[in-house]
């Protein structure tokens, strides 16, 4: 758990980068607006985490999953975000699987190289 309330805020650099990528060229954002967005984003993350945690508890589990977050979004009437999040979660799983496969292949190649040297 966070020791200070500020520990629950998203890093300003991350929020600034996301906002700048979302804005069209030539549009600037004030420091006050960035701070407001960072606080709003932090509150949203805490809210969705709380809703997802309730789902986990109701299902008598201990681990919160991506599917719990998706279900929580629907529960709190943010259905608009469900499909994009499902797509992002699927892409993440595919990338993680590809990295794992690539790492295993690299390990296998190294073992074969060692065997060949013997």
Q: Please report, for the domain that includes residue 63, its CATH number.
A: 1.10.20.10
Same domain, 91 and 73: no
- Higher pLDDT residue, 109 or 78? 78
Q: Does residue 114 carry a pLDDT above 60?
A: no
The answer to pTM > 0.75 is no
Instruction: For Cα atoms 91, 62, 47, give the angle at the middle one, nearest 5 degrees.
Output: 65
Terminal CA-CA length for the chain: 52
Same domain, 20 and 69: yes
Same domain, 4 and 41: yes
Q: What is the pLDDT of residue 99?
A: 82
Q: Does residue 1 carry a pLDDT above 60?
A: no
What is the span of the domain harbouring residue 97? 84-118
Q: What is the pLDDT of residue 109?
A: 59
- Higher pLDDT residue, 1 or 31? 31
Burial status of residue 57 (CB atoms within 10 A of its CB: 0-12, 13-18, 19 or more): exposed
Over residues 15-74, the pLDDT tens digits come to 889 998 999 999 999 999 999 999 999 999 999 999 999 999 999 999 999 999 999 999
Same domain, 48 and 2: yes
Same domain, 19 and 70: yes
Same domain, 59 and 108: no
Same domain, 70 and 89: no
Same domain, 102 and 49: no
Our count of domains for the chain comes to 2
Q: Mean pLDDT lowest for which of 59-63, 97-101, 108-112?
A: 108-112
Same domain, 59 and 31: yes
Q: Measured between alpha carbons, how far is 50 from 58 in angstroms, rounded to an integer?
A: 12
Same domain, 50 and 6: yes
């Amino acid at each position: 758990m966070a020791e200070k309330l500020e520990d629950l805020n998203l890093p300003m650099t991350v929020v600034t980068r996301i906002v700048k990528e979302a804005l069209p060229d030539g549009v600037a954002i004030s420091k006050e607006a960035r701070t407001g967005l960072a606080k709003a984003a932090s509150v949203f993350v805490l809210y969705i985490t709380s809703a997802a945690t309730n789902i986990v508890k109701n299902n008598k589990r201990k681990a919160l999953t991506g599917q719990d977050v998706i279900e929580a979004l629907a529960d709190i009437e943010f259905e608009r975000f469900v499909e994009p999040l499902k797509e992002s979660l699927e892409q993440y799983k595919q990338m993680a699987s590809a990295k794992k496969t690539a790492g295993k292949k690299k390990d296998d190649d190294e073992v074969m190289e060692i065997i060949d040297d013997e």
